[in-house]
Structure 1
Amino acid sequence: MSARTGRARLVAVLAAASVLALGACTSANEIEEQARADDAGSGSSGLAVNTSPDQDRVRSTPSDEAIALLPPGLVADGKLTVAVGAFTPPLSFLADDNETVIGNEPDIAQLVADGLGLDLELITTDWSNWPLATQSGSVDVTIANVTVTEERKELFDFSSYRVDNLGFLANANSGLSVEKAEDIAGLTIAVGSGTNQEKILLAWDAENQAAGLEPIDVQYFENDGDSILALQSGRLDLYFGPNPTGAYKAGVAPQDFEVVGTVNGGWPQTAQIAVATAKGNGLAEAITAALNHAIDDGTYAQVLERWGLTSEAIERAETNPPGLPRQPA
């Protein structure tokens, strides 16, 4: 491992065996050492993840088209301020120093800033705070796994950059494959209570039972770690959750996990993840052009590959794509 990149697999929250082994670790450096030991013992060649604060991010180049679309005076200081989270690998989380925010979302933010010819400033924020921060101008944009909805489009403009997918995570070599509702009949599946994936799972189960198929056994756990332990112990067949986290687990520990199926998070509609900007300020068009510039020069694909999210790539970014419909009152 080079001192500059500090490449290591971040497995503390990914595999139950690793969770138990890392229980005594007190720092990210110790976690990296344990991960290297795991690799040496297993011969694994999973996704390598740089958890150091020195990210050596993938960089794009200025796009004349994107720069020309920048609203005059909106980012006059030459800096693009971007709200991101800091708690969910591989989307956005803290590096070894417990201060530097890293992940797919900060890397996408870098590509956008590069395309616009601007410096990047990342502002970590809780999920509940991003709407006010974006509307008030405290930040220029939010890149925090925000799904486009018709209701949100009343207050924000969007530039799409990723498919909103949910994934079925299984133990490696499970032999399972989920492409349609009937594929989960009779299985024991963990899902988060009150989530969109729970709604989909229960709808599929109702469809199956109406067709005379076996019901699923739905299991609820307090946190992601408990679900993973139950999966590896054989108490679960599947864990149904956001695809980025599942794909990341499978990427860094392919000897332990595999994603055996995905479904769009807006099922039966199609949902997209997008950069959010304040409604009507004109920034979205420039951001969309910057994203398409990154798609064209290949840096967008490099970022998604870096974090194990190639399955969520889009062909072109779009300003204000169709959003999920407003829920009935």
Structure 2
Amino acid sequence: MKHNFLLSVAFLLISTISNAVPKVTGWAPDAAYMTNGNLDLAKGGTPRISYTFTREQVNGVYEDVDMQLVFYIQRNGQNYESAPVYITNSNFLGDTWTGNDRRFIALGTSQAGGVLRAKYRVRSQGSPSYGPYMEISKSLNVINGAINPPGNPPVANSASIYRYYYGASNSANHFYTVSNITPGGYTFEFIEFYALTTQVSGTVPIYRYFDSQNIDHFYTTVSNNSTFPNYAFEKIEFYAYATQQPGTVPVYRYFSPSLKNHFYTTHYSPGGYNGGYYYERIEFYAYQGERR
């Protein structure tokens, strides 16, 4: 199994006039995960990322921009990236916006070493595409190896359901599995929930399907895929409750038409999520994972 780590960061977004380049400065991992100035992956834990964005006025006007920030570990010529932090212009009230979130750096391997870096890209409000990524000059050496955390399954015959993320310029895939091995090209984010590995009273199989054309994993209680013919059946991934039981929470299903991607979460957002995800339904009930 692998431990992938969250970073606690604070950074500053300065937005000037439309032909200027917004800047990001001042990120740092939580001090508890540092050893002699290095990011120490052996320390474990899941610190929350905190961040503050500010921007400047020029001639009394703010530039309207959206932004993505990505942290990554560079090792042996390969980059293992976090899921992006998305900031939209609507997040700002005046010149500042503050928040916190969880972001794992996906190591993709239990090897030690590497360098932690960060990059970001921006787009003008309303533009269909972002500009190229800009590197932030700061970097930190990474020491010791890591494995994804085992979690704390709450009941007998339950297991951690790991959430992995794959993102490209025009597609995305959220992958949920009992496997603690990060798939190639994916980022380990966190344990979204706990589910059963064997069927018990009140539970139903959760069938895993995959659309290879759009790179989308789809999880459902429906055993017949005739209503979604583009999806090929892969396996029963786990078992979950069809109705809410003591100690369980709803797992909500969202879908993004633009990304052609399904997204499952224990956090309900009536307005949907960034990326055009809108709410579809409660798919099943499971035990709360490590995300709170």
TM-score range, shorter chain: under 0.3
Whichever structure has more helix as a proportion of its residues is 1
Larger strand share, 1 or 2: 2
TM-score, normalization by structure 1: 0.23
Which one has more relative contact order, counting CA pairs under 8 Å at least 6 apart? 1
